[in-house]
Structure 1
Amino acid sequence: MLSRKPLFPGVIELNFQAGEVFGCNVYLVFDGDEWLLIDIGYEETVDDFIEVIRQLDFPLSRCKTLVATHADVDHIQGLAKAKQVLRTSVTSHPNAVKPLQSGDRLLTLAEIEAQGLQMDMPPVEIEHQVNDGDIIQVGEKQLEVWHTPGHTDSQLAFRLDKILLSGDNIYRDGCVGAIDAHHGSDIKAFIKSLTRIRDSDVEWLLPSHGPMFRKDTAMLDATIERLKGYLTMADFGTLAESWPLMDEWEDEVAEGKLPEGLGG
């Protein structure tokens, strides 16, 4: 048996517990013998995570549900396998239901043809849908559901007292989850979600990738300002609100204006 190494009372991160990074962060939230998992990662690591759970002496029959923070393959490819082994249910935001139940390889980023990425995406039935303000009960513990769109339109975070299991919203280095139109990113929504996290009284952030960290308002301010800049950058294509350079170009064309030093 393994000695449990909770990050906070009732919260274990399974990679940290195992002393080895298998993939995305997988959080086991428990009270007594009842427990749930937030994300599961890739199908190939499901057995590794379940063996860690066995070694921690959690009864497999007491898994209340498997929660998907959002419908990206690196977080949820293993859901169907884990659900079968644990004989439990799956919980997600309504926006994640269709890609998860259909096994949509494009929306889940399991297939990116331009990069030669081809992964299986086993479909999985979703028994429970949750949205902002809902409560997921684990024993006597209550996880408050936050809908925090931006990275994807189905991104969820979960508040437990002064900690936030914060998904792909923000990482310790100030980076955020990938902004990609193909899986439902929305920069304005991302800014709103990060502002909510910044302005909350949570003290610790437990992200879906990388180390846990104390909430840093200055870092979040800088990240929010960076994302605001994305709204007027051609780099982000259809996700940008505008491209001021094109307004300047229209004016210069109308005026017949050339840069200084060019033209007769």
Structure 2
Amino acid sequence: MIQRNPIFPGILELNFQAREVLGCNVYLIYDEDEWALVDIGYEETVDDFVEIIRNLDFPLSQCKTLIATHADVDHIQGLAKLKSILKTTVTAHPKAVKPLREGDTLWTLAEIEAQNLKMDMPKVDVENEVGDGDVIRVGGIDIEVWHTPGHTNSQLAFRIGDVLLSGDNIYRDGCIGAIDAHHGSDIKAFVKSLERIRDSDVKWLAPSHGPIFPNDADFMNRTIDRVRGYLKMADFGTLAESWPLMDQWEDEVAAGILPEGLSTPS
């Protein structure tokens, strides 16, 4: 057996516990012998995580549920395999149910033809659907469910006391989860989710990738301002609500205006 090194009372992060990054952050929430897992990552590392859990002396039969933050392949490809090993249930947002049940490789970003990427996406059923305001109870620990869409429409975050398991909403370097229309991204919703996190009294953010960091308003505002700017930029194509440059171009074309220093050929 190995010593447990919780990052917060009742919360382990299994990559940190193993002192090796095996994939996305995998949070094990526990009280006494009962425990639940938030995300699992790729199928190829499931056995590694199971061995870590065994060595931490958690009874495999006491896993209450496997919780998916959202339905992206790098978070949930291993769900079907782990569910079979643990004989437990899967918990996710209703909008994650269909891509998980169908093993949808496009919606989960397991298949990106332009990048010659094609991964398996094993099908898995979701027994427990949760949404904003629901509570998942593990032993004596209450896990408050937040629906924080933006990165995907099924993105969930989970509050436990002063810490928010914040999914792919934001990382310590100010980056955010990828914006891609193919898996349900929404820039306006993303801004609202980031504002909600900023305005909460949560003290710490434990993301799905990378290290934990404080919930700081100035830091959050810099990211929020950048993401809000995407609504008026072409960077993410059809996800923008407008592209002011094109309005300016139409006016300039209609008026025959060229940039200063250029003139229309005579």
Task: Place the TM-score, normalised by the shorter chain, in its bin.
Answer: over 0.9
Question: Which deviates further from its counterpart, 98-107 or 241-250?
Answer: 241-250
Cα distance in 1 for residues equivalent to 2:216 and 2:49: 30
Please show how residues 95-244 of structure 1 align to structure 2 within 5 Å: 95-244=95-244
Give 3-state SS (helix, strand or coil) of 2:137's partner: strand
What fraction of aligned residue pairs are identical, expressed as a percent?
Answer: 72
RMSD: 0.7
Cα distance in 2 for residues equivalent to 1:262 and 1:196: 50
What amino acid does structure 2 have at the position aligned with 1:193?
S
Residue 255 of structure 2 aligns with which residue?
255
Structure 1: runs of 5+ lacking an equivalent: none
The TM-score normalised by the length of structure 1 is: 0.99
Cα distance in 1 for residues equivalent to 2:55 and 2:257: 72
Cα distance in 1 for residues equivalent to 2:213 and 2:157: 15
- Once the 2 structures are TM-superposed, how far is the Cα of residue 182 of structure 1 from its aligned partner? 0.8
- Matched length: 264
What amino acid does structure 2 have at the position aligned with 1:23?
G
Cα distance in 2 for residues equivalent to 1:38 and 1:262: 61
Which of structure 1's runs of 4+ aligned residues deviate more than 3 A? none
Per-residue CA deviations over 1:131-165 (Å, capped at 9, x if unaligned) read: 00000000010000000000000000000011100
Cα distance in 2 for residues equivalent to 1:121 and 1:43: 9
Cα distance in 1 for residues equivalent to 2:123 and 2:147: 23
Cα distance in 2 for residues equivalent to 1:254 and 1:106: 42
Give 3-state SS (helix, strand or coil) of 2:144's partner: strand
Give 3-state SS (helix, strand or coil) of 1:123's partner: coil
- Once the 2 structures are TM-superposed, how far is the Cα of residue 256 of structure 1 from its aligned partner? 2.2
Please say if 1:35 is aligned against 2:35.
yes
What amino acid does structure 1 have at the position aligned with 2:66?
L
Cα distance in 1 for residues equivalent to 2:217 and 2:252: 41
Structure 2: runs of 5+ lacking an equivalent: none
Give 3-state SS (helix, strand or coil) of 1:234's partner: coil
The TM-score normalised by the length of structure 2 is: 0.98
- Once the 2 structures are TM-superposed, how far is the Cα of residue 70 of structure 1 from its aligned partner? 0.2
- Once the 2 structures are TM-superposed, how far is the Cα of residue 257 of structure 1 from its aligned partner? 2.1
Give 3-state SS (helix, strand or coil) of 2:29's partner: strand
- Once the 2 structures are TM-superposed, how far is the Cα of residue 262 of structure 1 from its aligned partner? 2.5
Question: Which deviates further from its counterpart, 214-223 or 252-261?
Answer: 252-261
- Once the 2 structures are TM-superposed, how far is the Cα of residue 259 of structure 1 from its aligned partner? 2.4
Question: Which deviates further from its counterpart, 20-29 or 245-254?
Answer: 245-254
What amino acid does structure 2 have at the position aligned with 1:175?
C
- Once the 2 structures are TM-superposed, how far is the Cα of residue 215 of structure 1 from its aligned partner? 1.2
What amino acid does structure 1 have at the position aligned with 2:34?
E
- Once the 2 structures are TM-superposed, how far is the Cα of residue 84 of structure 1 from its aligned partner? 0.2
